[in-house]
Structure 1
Amino acid sequence: MKLNKGLIKKGMYLSGIMNIGGVLIFSKFFSNKVINEADPVVMSNFGLLMLTVWGLVFIAMAPKWEKLKWVIGAFVIEKFIYGFVWTKWLLDNDLSSVYEQDTMAGIFYTIYGPNDWFFFLFYLGVFIYLNKAQKKVNQ
């Protein structure tokens, strides 16, 4: 898939909506203790709140993304870290036991990692796109 300006802007909005909506829905507005207990460091209510803040940042960036290459670079790092942490969590934990305790928490732990890996690749693609565009301007 080739990135274009419209697709990038929509992707940023989608990224923000996924962070905010995913956290609020699956955490049952921060009341789902199973999510907290399954990963008390990363997915504490404070951690979940910070995920919603990241979502707000993704949405706020969407209209001006072309001028903020290094912020996009920070998004690449953020999404990589969450994807990596999820992968490690999945290797060290039993997802089926989370489902047994709470289906919404199980769904959350099933989708949050692939979501972050997908948007890691998306933001990496945007960062590369901006680097190529900058090289063309500088030539």
Structure 2
Amino acid sequence: MTINNNTISKGFVLAGLTNSSVLIFSKLFTNPVIAEFDTTVMSNFGLLMIFIWGLAYISIAKNYQQVKWLVAVFAIEKFIYGFIWLQWHLNHSVSAVFEKNLLAGVFYSIYGINDWLFFIFFSFVFIRLMRK
């Protein structure tokens, strides 16, 4: 399977846009329920940093080939968030989040899936760049 550079560039933009969805789930950082269930990673500051990571993905969409090690950093970052999400689910109940707030419940249900998918994407891109 061959994926062209334009499709990969769109993947970086998609990664950035999905990270930007924290603005919706957090209601522009006014939804206290997200931070309540993970005061460290999902504080308003943490959510802001997720948004900033998304801007970083978009910023290299057209020239990702020149920053292969940054793509590796993105893969590591997504692995960490995915791992934290799994840990959270092993120790918490997402139904408790849904009881307090629908948007926060949806956020905790899906954010790690997004992280694992983009971990795979960034890893694929990095490996492809290393082979060139």
TM-score, normalised with respect to structure 1: 0.93
Q: 2:17 matched to 1:14?
A: no
Report if the CA contact (8 A) 1:3-1:126 is conserved.
no
- Matched residue, 1:136: none
Output aligned runs, 1:65-76, within 5 Å. 65-76=64-75
Higher helix share: 1
Report if the CA contact (8 A) 1:13-1:59 is conserved.
yes
Report if the CA contact (8 A) 1:69-1:130 is conserved.
yes
Shift of 1:106: 0.4
Shift of 1:53: 0.5
RMSD between aligned alpha carbons? Answer: 0.8
For residues 4 and 120 of structure 2, the distance between their equivalents in structure 1, rounded to whole angstroms, comes to: 15
4+ residue segments displaced more than 4 Å: none
Structure 1 residue ranges without an equivalent (≥5): 134-139
Report if the CA contact (8 A) 1:73-1:123 is conserved.
yes
Give the percent of matched residue pairs that are identical in Structure 1 and Structure 2. 52
Structure 2 residue ranges without an equivalent (≥5): none
- Matched residue, 1:3: 3
1:5 maps to a residue whose letter is N
For residues 92 and 4 of structure 1, the distance between their equivalents in structure 2, rounded to whole angstroms, comes to: 41
Report if the CA contact (8 A) 1:18-1:55 is conserved.
yes
Shift of 1:2: 3.7
Output aligned runs, 1:1-139, within 5 Å. 2-20=2-20, 22-133=21-132
Report if the CA contact (8 A) 1:27-1:105 is conserved.
yes
Instruction: Name the SS for the 1:63 alignment partner.
Output: coil
For residues 84 and 11 of structure 1, the distance between their equivalents in structure 2, rounded to whole angstroms, comes to: 21
Highest CA radius of gyration, 1 or 2?
Answer: 1
1:24 maps to a residue whose letter is L
